[in-house]
Chains A and B, each alone.
Chain A
Amino acid sequence: MVKKVVIIGGGPGGYPAALMLAQKSVKVTLIEREKLGGTCLNRGCIPTKVMLHATHLLREIKSGGRFGIKTQKVTLDFSQLLRHRDQIVESLIKGIESLFQMRGIQVFKGTGFFETSRRVKIKETGEAVEADAVILATGSIPAPLNIQGGNGEGILNSDQVLSLKVVPPSMIVIGAGYIGLEFAQIFHCLGSRVIVIEMENQVLPKEDSEVATALEEALRQEGITIITGARLKEISGKEGHKVVRYLTREGKEVSLEAACILGAVGRRPRIEGLNLPGAGVQAENGKIVVTPSMETTSKGVYAIGDVIGGFMLAHVATAEGHTAAENILGNAQIMDYTAVPRCIYTYPEVASVGLTEIEAKNRYGKIRVGSFPLQASGRARIIDGGGFAKIITEDRYKKIVGVHLVGPHVTELIAEATVGLNLECTSEEIAFSIHPHPTLSEILMEAALSIEGYKVHSA
């Protein structure tokens, strides 16, 4: 019977696991270097969504003319935006702290490392905590740009870009994953001239190509320059005047200039300084190795979230934390990554769950694809949002294997598809569930109906 658990890291993996365990009469001690909430709350999901929301609002206000809303010149006070952003973050941190207090979870400030697999020491204070089980949830750090001049001045990562106090006149974003694209749109809307450079041949390289093409097109139309299939050669120049040299797809060498560079080429698990060998915990390729129960190579030591690699998403870390907690409590549970939603909060939003069309074809051979354009949705017309819904099923039973959405608020809609995938629904259950009208949620029903052979509101 586990009575005491130590959790290293208070991000979206560690802190929910602490709250779950504490409710089951486990004494939980959490060690956090900085503030509770981790990257998600302090340097990721939440602050970027505040900034994106401001840009969406700005766009909305500016487009009020079609409803007869007349505005004078609309401006955005960047420092007020930052203040508001930090206030939201602060209040959410307070929320976690009060939950911790209520559940009697002790928080040690400092950097934890293993003395043994059952004893964790805090570097700064020298205090040590013993436990029956340990959860490692140390998260990740932005990956550095691995090219010549990649760590020079004027090159920011996603943490540093949030500390900018003024909007730079221009910015080159390296990497067109979700982090790069979200920042590209934020700064574009704030007034920067933004160029995005991606090595792969599409933005969002891991996503369905139809989705990627739609978003790329929308961002281009807004005025963001996007270059794909580029091979980076070198970054040079001084702060305020940076130069990126790259080879185009055709092999032509091009140089581009901007006031600053944002490196958004992914994240790297934070495993340094943990003394993993001291606890018998193995890491491979810089990631901690875990079983599907989230247990490391050392019995009783679990690892969750970005530190084990994989999706590196807050909600996945939370789910992994739940799995680890359940196993610690003696309820055997394994992680299932079949239905992990992936969201990008740009305008238009992108949300997907499950397999892309190509992955589905490779997996199932014969598949069915049902789609529905947002132009055909009444509610989407009102909101003035373009995009589409696409549902992919295998052929035999029409089991839903992937759902891809582009359009306003689709990050909310993807939850329905996620439940569907998790329950192993077929297109039938979505198609013949009554969806409220007029809502955007109807697009899922319509896409499913088209798999069932009914194209009601589309050609």
Chain B
Amino acid sequence: MSQALRDPHPKGRAKALERSHRAGKQRIPIRVSRTDQLARHPHHLAIHLNNVRHRLPLRRAPIAYGLTVANIEGKATAITVITPVKRGGPLLLWLVFWAGRNMEWTLKKLQTLSFIHFARWAVIKRFPDGREGERLNHTYLLFESNFNGAWEQYIDAFSEVVALRMKAIWGTSLGFPGPLPVEPFKGYIRRNEFVANHYYSAYPGATTTEIVSAARVEAALEELARTSAGLDPDSFGEAYASFLTKLQRDL
């Protein structure tokens, strides 16, 4: 956690804070309550503290978001990350995502990360406000994922298995340290992550692998029921044994 709390851009942040203080803005302390909950999920505490540390002094009342740990629902974990994009980044992102949508192999690689249920990236050029949208100096990149397993393992796998893709996508974001080594990458994600205030999963007890396995079991079971209808007991016993052998990894 200590590494995650370290500021990788001390100079830049110090300058910004100096500018803000010169402008007369006050840093407003954010109260941390329910620390018992946060202490049970140390990485959420790290995210929360980093979000506090890395935001410029707030101009309005402190917000109590992040004080409730709602990122985990059964075996599922939510991750929500919003990063500022470099100048020229939107064009590169357009190319990368075009490739992602049109070249099947790019998404196939994500399937090899067999613990992701759903994931998305979205480029935010204007934050919706019901009119033309609020435009900031930077474009922002939203990433959200629903996965099973621990946060640390998830980022480890991203870093090791799809490192080039992560570099192509987040390499357009300011402050991205690269997917390897993994600790600075984890620190970057933590700083830019927002903890969900409410999270829902329709099947919290199941992992992605279990769901894919269940689909195979169901299909094989239907086939066995159909093809074994007229078999005598001994032949059925053989068909059943073969069925179990075929599905041994899915049960």
- Are A and B interaction partners? no
Which residues from chain A sit less than 8 Å from chain B, CB to CB? none
Which residues from chain B sit less than 8 Å from chain A, CB to CB? none
